[in-house]
Amino acid sequence: MSNNILILGGGGFIGTALSEALEAAGNEVIALTRNTSKPTHSKIRQVAGTFSSPADFTPLLSNCRTIVHLASSSTPGSSAGRPLYELEQNLRVTLALLEALQDAPHCKLLFVSSGGTLYGNKTIVPATESSEINPLSYHGAGKAAAEYFISAWTQQFSRSATILRPSNVYGPGQTARQGFGIIPTTFDKIIKDEALEIWGDGSAIRDYLYIDDLVKLCLELVDTPMSCGTRILNAGSNTGTSLNELLSLIEEITGSRVRRIEQTKRQVDASRVVIDSSEAHKLLGWTSRTPLSEGLRRTWNWWATQQ
């Protein structure tokens, strides 16, 4: 069996980190991306395209053993009021991939979903894989739809898939991009001495997961045999941190005050999301090992080197 691994969304924050880690582990990596302007590792093959048709994938699947689907073009905020955007930019790509995979029985699939947007408001206990999903945004609803399509594909064609639901991922390599990550956005505002716009009063609680911890779990999943069917795993720190606590910690690490502009809370934003990752620990011995303070310090140090 070929050692090739196909990364859909290989030019993004998580995709870049995972592609480089897989290559370092001796895999042949093919990174699919919509944007070729970002340089990639010299040993990683990059293929650009829209990937909206099964024919876009078919020539690439014959020599691949695993497909990692990381591609996503929206956020809860950017998808607000735009359900068709989810169809055209995200779901269409997923469905095209699944149709192509119908003729590639040698491939297994790792789909990176979104624990941060699927579970809605979990006000008491951390969300487990069996918790009811209740997405508040079209972005989250699109992830839920993709999961159901993947499950149907595994059942119809006796295939194998793991759905990974990570919490809010951050770390070195994540650049400031509108709506994609409060941590890089905050660092960017500090560097530029600009005020940070936040939605609500800062009491919203999130579960922050350091990129290296997520990549380690993905490496484990790529190398672990999958049985037929669909397996769902959460990936988070199991710890909730309010936005106010996060910003205070960032101020302490950077030595800079974060000026804030509070806007009215959006309906697409959950008040509290914390992820229970005990199943990943039970199956693979995985746990998030990077404390938030240490992860933020490493990320800020990376930001400082980029300026």
Q: Total domain count for the chain?
A: 1
* Per-residue confidence band for 100, with pLDDT thresholds at 50, 70 and 90: very high
Alpha carbon dihedral 12, 18, 23, 28, in 10-degree steps, equals -70
Q: How does pLDDT run across 236-259, given as a tens digit for each residue? A: 999 999 999 999 999 999 999 999
Write the CB contacts of 42 (distance below 8 Å, at least 6 apart in sequence). none
Is position 176 within any domain? no
* Per-residue confidence band for 123, with pLDDT thresholds at 50, 70 and 90: low
Residue 85: give the domain boundaries: 4-170+209-237+274-289
Is position 59 within any domain? yes
Instruction: Say if residue 103's pLDDT is above 90.
Output: yes
Is position 258 within any domain? no
pLDDT score recorded for residue 82 = 82
Phi-psi region of 77 (alpha: psi -120 to 50; beta: other; left: phi over 0): alpha
Q: How does pLDDT run across 207-233, given as a tens digit for each residue? A: 999 999 999 999 999 998 888 999 999
Is position 204 within any domain? no
H, E, C per residue of 72-115: CCCCCCCCCCCHHHHHHHHHHHHHHHHHHHCCCCCCEEEEECCH
H, E, C per residue of 23-87: HHCCCEEEEEECCCCCCCCCCCEEEECCCCCHHHHHHHHCCEEEEEECCCCCCCCCCCCCHHHHH
Is position 263 within any domain? no
Q: How does pLDDT run across 104-120, given as a tens digit for each residue? A: 999 999 999 998 888 87
Is position 283 within any domain? yes
pLDDT score recorded for residue 139 = 87
Write the CB contacts of 165 (distance below 8 Å, at least 6 apart in sequence). 113, 114, 115, 118, 129, 232, 233, 234, 235, 275
The CATH code of the domain that includes 282 is 3.40.50.720
Instruction: Say if residue 289's pLDDT is above 90.
Output: yes
Q: What is the mean pLDDT of residues 53-64?
A: 94
> Residue written as tokens 């905050």?
186
The alpha carbon of 146 is separated from its chain's Cα centroid by a whole number of angstroms, namely 14
Is position 302 within any domain? no
Q: How does pLDDT run across 256-275, given as a tens digit for each residue? A: 999 988 887 777 677 788 99
Is position 163 within any domain? yes
